[in-house]
Amino acid sequence: MSAKSLKIVILAAGKGTRMNSPGSEGLPKVMHKLAGLPMINWLIKSAEQLSPAQIIVVTGPDMKDLEAAVQPHTTVIQPERNGTAGAVMAALSALEGFDGNVLILLGDAPLLKPDTMTALIDAAGQSGLSTLGCVMQNPYGYGRLVLDKNGALEKIVEEQDASEAEKTITLVNTGAFCVEGARLSRWLKNINNENAKSEYYLTDLPQVAAKDGVATAVAMTNDPSEVQGCNRRADLSSLEKTLQNRLRFEAQENGATLLDLETVYFHFDTRIGVNVTIEPNVFFGPGVEIGDNVTIKAFCHFEGAKIASGATIGPFARLRPGVELEEDVRIGNFVEVKKSKIGKRSKINHLAYVGDTDMGDDTNFSAGAITVNYDGFQKHQTIIGKGVMVGSNVNLVAPVKIDDGAFIAAGSTITEDVPADSLSVERTKAEVRKGWAATYRKLKQSKKKKSA
């Protein structure tokens, strides 16, 4: 990369009206999330890898949420949304006296990679101005890079202003530029708004620079998905797909096995250890940490859960926020666990609910058993010791404590603490009335005949 110092300007003032977000002004376009993180933050994460002297985010008026999201980086306001050149003009106060490289990026093209940014900076090293191009099979909506007969950039023309011949060009402008800071202010002041939208286009920079005898260098990316912009919800879905593919690849590179890539969805903060196997149709929400040698079977949903090494989860399991599973725990099919710590080697194998619980090591929580943690007003805790056997279809009515080695008989509803190594049975006495069912059926059939 160029030895010059670097500042990065990210243009993020767009309202995103075509996203149809709720509210009087709507959610700013760049605050729509990809893998749980606003798209602007994905771009900032990449930009930070270049270690710039400053990152400046250009926002619109009344975008407090956006300003908060990009902290601790600098924000400036573009008071009038009058085009991309107008947005960069708004950043000039933060660039005053800076003569290094200024990298200009679009906040709604969030998946640009650090290596591509570096290539764009390097391309500007000779002339002081570069733009990022990409060949697209369907270039509709993008500005076109018009080259002269020698292959040098002549101008950039927007879709609305392009002739029919220019619209056939597949080499497009991605919106990213690198400019020598000492010349930026003067070049911006020479841009006019004589175009179809009466806006000040940053894409006019090459023609303005040419008047100074400066040729614009073109850096290229061969990956159209890297520079895709976002204007509609459909674009957001497409960006999500691209990002998820990156996260899946990263998980595999770090030692996870994904049996069906396209059906595993990660959150931006998902952490996965080595030798983890993830079967199809698994969703990771925020705050999930997976240890080494874990097997996650199909159709599981996780949020806010920490899973230690050797655990086996699923299929069809749900782990909600506040779950901590220790080593070699087994959570089976149709089990939901919430705000609970499950000790080493304990098993909750099927058809169970465990909430607000502290469970010790080597405990078995059988099919159909639940912790009754909510009384309609408050949540209460269940404490289960080590080596406990909780039989099938047991209700543990919190607050309640089951001490080490206790045995809870199937079908019991436990409302009192159970001492260590005790058997607790809470059932009503069985009553059998012989012949009752036959008599009942005859009575019903007789009434039916009379009413016919």
Q: What count of Cα atoms within 13 Å lies in the side-chain half-sphere of residue 178? A: 27
Residues labelled as active-site residues: 350
Integer CA distances (angstroms), 270 to 126, 217, 327, 437, in order: 41, 39, 19, 57
136, 225 contact by CB (below 8 A): no
Question: How many residues are given for the chain?
Answer: 452
**Gap between the Cα atoms of 231 and 256, Å rounded:** 34
Where does 70-198 show beta strands of DSSP type E? 74-77, 101-106, 129-135, 144-147, 153-157, 171-180
Nearest to 2 by CA among 128, 110, 92: 128
**Gap between the Cα atoms of 213 and 183, Å rounded:** 13
Nearest to 236 by CA among 69, 42, 44: 42
**Gap between the Cα atoms of 16 and 35, Å rounded:** 19
Integer CA distances (angstroms), 341 to 130, 307, 322, 381, 407, in order: 55, 10, 8, 11, 20
Q: Is 396 helix (H, G, I), strand (E, B) or coil?
A: strand
Under DSSP, the state recorded for 374 is B
Kindly give, in sequence order, each residue whose CB lies less than 8 Å from that of residue 449, ignoring residues fewer than 6 positions away. Answer: none
219, 134 contact by CB (below 8 A): no
